[in-house]
Every structure is written in structure tokens, then in C-alpha cells.
């Protein structure tokens, strides 16, 4: 049986390779012939594809990002069935690392929100689901995507700390660090007005208050 270090490194590598496939890049090239980095906000993620090409292509991008995370998770657990939880957790983290820091694009990729959500739900369905739902509520009522993106791994980390799950806690800490790297700047820009409010929040709140009256 391979040592724990081997399991973690190999599973991270599996996740990284799967995660570094940027669905948005494929979508953008298919729709317009341009790189996802050269359209809209320049971010190879669901939000940019939605803003640039419409809701349908945003859904395709989301589905692809979720699928690659599932693939990484399943492959790693299949490779190391005796330590499936550790392997799957490492692969889930690796998928987000690959998405955010793809080697083929000079380590500049997406923001990792979809892969993080998919990963933590695969690893710990209840805790991950609670974290993802909390992040969604923060976006809808708080108005900023970056805040939701920061809250999701933070809530998951807090739950796993409370449950005293060492493997998941380490994974949560890594995902929080990645989220701060990706979204810390936009979060700081809220005070100065540099970060725009999310359109989904505006539509949701407008609909909510309209229905109340």
C-alpha cells in the first residue's frame, strides 16, 4: 500500500491536471474564436462567459467545471481505494489549484468558485452543501460575488474544525488561502466602490421587494 505522502501528492496531481482544463476557454473559442482571457472581464469562468455570451454558455461552463472536479475526485479515489477520503480530498483541492493556477497559461486561470463548491460537496456533502448555500445567500443579500467566494471555504473550514476532521481542515485552510488570493482584492475594493455589485443580487432583491409590495 502506498504511503500517505504518495497518495496526497499523486491525488493532488490528478486534480491539478483535471482542473487545469479551462472549460471557459473551450466555450469562448467555440463561440467567438477568441480566448476567454481576451473577452469581457478576461476571466475564464462562468460569470464572464455569462456576461459575454449569455446564460446558456454560462451553464455549459459551470457544468464543465463541475464535471472536471468530479472526474478528479473519482479518479483519485479509484487509484487509492484504501485511503479514498484522503485521495478524494486532495484531488478536490488539486482541481481548484489547477483551475486557478494552470501551468499552460503561466499559472493565471479562473477564480475557482465552481471547483471549490463542487469539491467540498463531493468531499463532505452536508458540510459542503451548507457552506455553498451560505455563500449563495451572501451573494444574493450582500450583493458581491467576491464575498460569497470568500465565505464558502471559510464556512466549510469552520465546520470541519468543529468536527475535528484533520484532513478536511487542512484542505479547507488551503481553499481559504486560494480564495483570499483570488478574491481578497475585489473584497477590499468594495469600500472604495471599485468592485461592482453582482447583477444576480440586483435582480433578486428587485424581485423580492417587488413581490412584497
Whether 206 shows a pLDDT value over 60: the answer reads no
Task: Give residue 204's pLDDT band: very low, low, confident or very high (50, 70, 90).
Answer: very low
Structure confidence by residue, pLDDT tens digits, 2-61: 899 999 999 999 999 999 999 999 999 999 999 999 999 899 998 899 889 998 999 999
Q: Please provide the size of the chain in residues.
A: 213
Evaluate whether 132 touches 191 at the Cβ level (below 8 Å): no
Q: How many percent of the chain have pLDDT more than 70?
A: 92
pLDDT at 191: 87
Query: DSSP states of 112-129 as a string?
Result: -HHHHHHHHHHH-HHHHH
CA distances from 107 to 16, 94, 101, 103 (A): 11, 13, 4, 5
Q: Following CA atoms 150, 59, 24, 200 in sequence, which dihedral angle do they give, to the nearest 10 degrees?
A: -40
Whether 142 shows a pLDDT value over 90: the answer reads no
Average pLDDT for 84-94: 98
Evaluate whether 26 touches 60 at the Cβ level (below 8 Å): no
Whether 182 shows a pLDDT value over 80: the answer reads yes
pLDDT at 180: 98
Q: How far apart are CA 110 and CA 68, in angstroms?
A: 14
Task: For residue 172, give the C-alpha cell.
Answer: 479547507
Listed residue (5, 43, 51) closest to 24, CA to CA: 43
Q: pTM of the entire structure?
A: 0.91
pLDDT at 197: 77
Task: For residue 166, give the C-alpha cell.
Answer: 484533520
Amino acid at each position: 500500500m502506498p504511503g500517505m505522502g504518495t497518495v496526497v501528492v499523486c491525488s493532488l496531481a490528478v486534480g491539478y491536471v483535471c482542473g487545469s482544463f479551462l472549460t471557459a476557454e473551450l466555450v469562448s473559442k467555440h463561440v467567438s474564436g477568441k480566448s476567454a482571457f481576451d473577452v469581457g472581464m478576461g476571466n475564464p469562468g462562468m460569470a464572464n462567459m455569462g456576461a459575454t455570451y449569455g446564460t446558456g454558455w454560462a451553464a455549459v461552463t459551470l457544468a464543465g467545471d463541475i464535471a472536471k472536479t468530479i472526474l478528479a475526485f473519482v479518479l483519485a479515489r479509484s487509484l487509492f481505494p484504501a485511503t479514498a477520503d484522503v485521495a478524494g480530498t486532495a484531488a478536490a483541492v488539486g482541481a481548484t489549484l489547477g483551475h486557478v493556477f494552470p501551468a499552460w497559461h503561466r499559472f493565471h486561470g479562473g477564480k475557482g468558485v465552481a471547483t471549490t463548491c463542487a469539491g467540498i460537496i463531493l468531499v463532505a456533502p452536508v458540510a459542503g452543501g451548507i457552506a455553498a448555500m451560505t455563500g449563495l445567500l451572501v451573494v444574493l443579500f450582500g450583493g458581491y460575488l467576491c464575498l460569497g467566494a470568500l465565505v464558502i471555504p471559510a464556512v466549510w473550514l469552520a465546520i470541519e474544525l468543529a468536527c475535528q476532521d484533520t484532513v478536511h481542515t487542512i484542505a479547507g485552510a488551503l481553499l481559504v488561502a486560494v480564495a483570499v488570493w483570488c478574491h481578497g482584492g475585489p473584497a477590499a475594493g468594495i469600500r472604495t466602490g471599485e468592485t461592482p455589485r453582482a447583477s444576480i443580487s440586483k435582480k433578486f432583491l428587485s424581485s423580492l421587494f417587488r413581490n412584497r409590495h
